[in-house]
Amino acid sequence: MTGQRRVPPSARIEEFPKAAVDQALWWERHILEVLHGLPPDAAAGAQPRDGFDPREHSLAQRERTKAIELTQDGSRVSASGVKRLRQCYQRDGLLGLVDGRSAKRLPPFGRIPPEVVEAMRQAIAESVNASSKTIGFVVWRTKQIVAACDDFDGVEMPHERTLYRLFDKLAEGTHVTGSARTRRSLAARPQPPGPASRRPHQVQSAVHSHRARGIPCRPRR
């Protein structure tokens, strides 16, 4: 019998604060014991604790046992609460155990540094009149912009998949990876007034944004 039966985590788990993720991981350990009889870190050859052996106790019984155990340890929860979390975990993996309200306290782009967001906006803006570009090129150009600016020293670049998700958010409606003719046509259309209707080439670059805040962006030597 083994406890290593985790549901693969969703990439969206990165959008939540560390405290919320740690709490979800704590719950995952208990839910896995309810489901399979052993926690994920159980040693090879370990046997289920009393009350958690699937061969001797039904799932409902194991949920009740876990609820009693956690309540006695100071984490008040009912058997129905354990059941709900178990179902959420089976459906959504680790993401199902995270307090969804915690994500609302994050900035619009999660943990992605604002400097990286500004750099990608510049990379997208540069592509409006250029020849057709791939998402990979925009991601590469974003990294290049960050690396070339002294004021971005210490900025940690997110994982590649995070940059691709950021591109999806920032490039929506711009057809950056479409033909250059399509992008130029869209950029030339009259736009209603208001900040929400800014064309891609009107988005401030990372350099201009820093200057506007009185922080000169100096190219690296």
pLDDT, tens only, 142-153: 999 999 887 777
Same domain, 95 and 122: no
pLDDT, tens only, 10-34: 657 777 788 888 999 999 999 999 9
Q: CA 135, 139, 142 angle in degrees (round to 5)? A: 140
Same domain, 97 and 119: no
Confidence of residue 5 (pLDDT cuts 50, 70, 90): low
| Residue 171 domain flag | yes
pLDDT, tens only, 76-124: 999 999 999 999 999 988 889 988 776 655 567 777 889 999 999 999 8
Same domain, 39 and 94: yes
Residue-averaged pLDDT of the chain: 78
**Gap between the Cα atoms of 92 and 10, Å rounded:** 8
| Residue 221 domain flag | no
Domain carrying residue 183: 114-212
